[in-house]
């Protein structure tokens, strides 16, 4: 990725971009300012950096002097995993539950937001004392994924070879690389076999790979609102979001970490998030909440007058910019696209034969991003291979985000799995 140099033009509302991809080599392009007025205090990156409050995080260096080889062919000389735990591991380490987070999630599954953790626990209503995943009974672990930005090694981390953030030099990774890094944390914690591995969306991809890569280390799994392989439409949605981000001149080819506050790739990341937010929710949820309401009821015909739903998308875009990193979004988004349980395993039928764990999969009935037929396919193939797999379709109006918001339905699925 080429470093992009910004030169301010003398004219109003224009930036001149030099070194970017243009019609001819050496040409410059005038980039109009986006009509959306963003906050002026947006960080260059919403990543956690050393020196920031640690909060409930713990850290483990898993490389121990040996490079961490990656499936696409690269390697990382040093890998740190940030993780959080709740409850107590019993004497024989048989009560451990691994929770795998989604694309823009992190290790903070439960607990309040504070200076160390920018958001409230993302499954706070499902996991905790007396809840579906009862931390009085189970030792719960969640690890910020490799490539992430909340303490684990990712593009915003310092590359030890040059003593500055990886940025554009961060290598491509896969879901399998994420899982292998998590296995190192399990080794350190003394967990030979998980009582259960659970997660939704990208977390569900990790769950499936755990069961296929380490069948002897997983007793139960709950892959929720996810798929055995990324579909063409899922890849298409991802590609549009990545393109929106990369077209932001402030992305600078991935090397933006030394920019000033308010001069990072906030617009690209915010638009990518807005695109994703559209398919994270259902048509019903948008219509019921916003309909055709305007931000200003007397302003309709101006080109940039806004409907309430546009304001909602803007809000979620800026919210993500304050807690996430643009490069991590690109790296993890691409890892989701390359997810395919059958890769290098002859066929999907052969891949699922590796899974010996008991499986409970679940769908959200209004999910158009990971529609129910994909979870039904999980059940069908595992059952055909002689495995044990139950299936539940949860009624919830929130679309794909239902795996986060339908706490009662998700809780029932997980409680049944853990008690089995």
What does the alpha-carbon distance between residue 1 and residue 345 come to, in Å, rounded to a whole number? Answer: 32
pLDDT tens profile 256-272: 999 999 999 999 999 99
Please say if 367 is a catalytic residue. yes
Give the active site residue among 325, 367, 396, 401.
367
* Tokens 């695109």 found at: 275
Which class is 40-47+234-335 in CATH? mainly alpha
Distance (Å) of CA 234 to CA 21, 291, 374, 413: 27, 26, 12, 25
What does the alpha-carbon distance between residue 263 and residue 254 come to, in Å, rounded to a whole number? Answer: 13
Please name the helix (run of DSSP H) or strand (run of DSSP E) that holds residue 18, with its range, or none.
strand 14-18
pLDDT at 11 over 90: no
What does the alpha-carbon distance between residue 48 and residue 329 come to, in Å, rounded to a whole number? Answer: 14
Could you count the other beta carbons within 10 Å of the beta carbon of residue 34?
14
Give the active site residue among 201, 238, 360, 363.
201
SS3 361: strand
* Tokens 């304001």 found at: 311
Could you count the other beta carbons within 10 Å of the beta carbon of residue 74?
15
pLDDT at 1 over 90: no
Give the active site residue among 108, 117, 279, 400.
400
pLDDT tens profile 379-403: 999 999 999 999 999 999 999 999 9
Pseudo-torsion of CA 228, 232, 236, 237, nearest 10°? -40
Indicate the domain borders of the chain: 1-33, 40-47+234-335, 58-231+346-419
CATH topology of domain 58-231+346-419: Rossmann fold (3.40.50)
pLDDT for 9 equals 32
- Tell me the mean pLDDT in the region 20-31: 37
pLDDT for 32 equals 54
pLDDT for 36 equals 76
What does the alpha-carbon distance between residue 394 and residue 409 come to, in Å, rounded to a whole number? Answer: 6
Distance of CA 414 to the CA centre of its chain: 21
**Could you tell me the two tokens for 420?**
């089995």
- Tell me the mean pLDDT in the region 223-251: 97
- Largest Cα separation within the chain, whole Å, is 70
pLDDT tens profile 125-138: 999 999 999 999 99
pLDDT at 87 over 90: yes
What is the pTM assigned to this prediction? 0.92
User: What residue spans of 158-231 are helical by DSSP H?
Assistant: 175-189, 202-213
- Tell me the mean pLDDT in the region 218-226: 98
- Tell me the mean pLDDT in the region 350-361: 98
In the structure, what pLDDT confidence band is assigned to residue 5 with cuts at 50, 70 and 90?
very low
CB 335 within 8 A of CB 145: no
């Amino acid at each position: 990725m080429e470093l992009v140099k910004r030169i301010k033009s003398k004219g109003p509302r224009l930036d001149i971009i030099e070194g970017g991809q243009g019609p001819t080599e050496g040409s410059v392009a005038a980039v109009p300012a986006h009509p959306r007025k963003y906050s002026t205090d947006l960080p260059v990156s919403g990543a956690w950096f050393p020196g920031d409050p640690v909060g409930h995080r713990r850290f483990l260096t898993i490389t121990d002097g040996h490079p961490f080889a990656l499936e696409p062919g690269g390697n990382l000389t040093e890998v740190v995993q940030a993780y959080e735990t709740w409850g107590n591991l019993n004497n024989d380490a048989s009560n451990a539950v691994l929770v795998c987070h989604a694309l823009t999630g992190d290790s903070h599954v439960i607990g309040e937001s504070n200076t160390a953790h920018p958001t409230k626990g993302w499954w706070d209503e499902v996991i905790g004392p007396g809840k579906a995943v009862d931390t009085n009974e189970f030792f719960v672990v969640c690890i910020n994924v490799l490539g992430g930005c909340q303490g684990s090694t990712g593009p915003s981390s310092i590359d030890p070879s040059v003593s500055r953030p990886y940025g554009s030099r961060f290598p491509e990774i896969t879901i399998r690389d994420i899982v292998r890094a998590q296995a190192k944390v399990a080794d350190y914690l003394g967990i030979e076999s998980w009582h259960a591995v659970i997660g939704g969306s990208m977390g569900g991809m990790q769950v499936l790979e755990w069961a296929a890569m380490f069948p002897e280390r997983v007793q139960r799994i709950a892959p929720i609102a996810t798929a055995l392989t990324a579909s063409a439409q899922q890849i298409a949605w991802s590609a549009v979001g990545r393109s929106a981000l990369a077209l932001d001149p402030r992305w600078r080819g991935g090397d933006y970490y030394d920019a000033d506050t308010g001069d990072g790739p906030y617009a690209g990341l915010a638009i990518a998030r807005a695109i994703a937010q559209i398919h994270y929710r259902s048509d019903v949820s948008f219509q019921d909440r916003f309909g055709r309401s305007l931000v200003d009821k007397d302003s309709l015909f101006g080109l940039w007058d806004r409907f309430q739903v546009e304001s909602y998308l803007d809000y979620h875009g800026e919210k993500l910019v304050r807690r996430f990193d643009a490069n991590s979004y690109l790296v993890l988004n691409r890892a989701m696209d390359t997810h395919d349980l059958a890769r290098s395993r002859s066929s999907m039928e052969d891949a699922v034969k590796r899974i010996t764990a008991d499986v409970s999969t679940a769908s959200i009935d209004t999910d158009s991003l990971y529609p129910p037929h994909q979870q039904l396919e999980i059940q069908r193939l595992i059952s055909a291979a002689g495995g044990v797999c139950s299936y539940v379709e949860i009624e919830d109006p929130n679309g794909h985000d239902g795996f986060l918001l339908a706490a009662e339905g998700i809780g029932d699925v997980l409680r049944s799995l853990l008690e089995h």
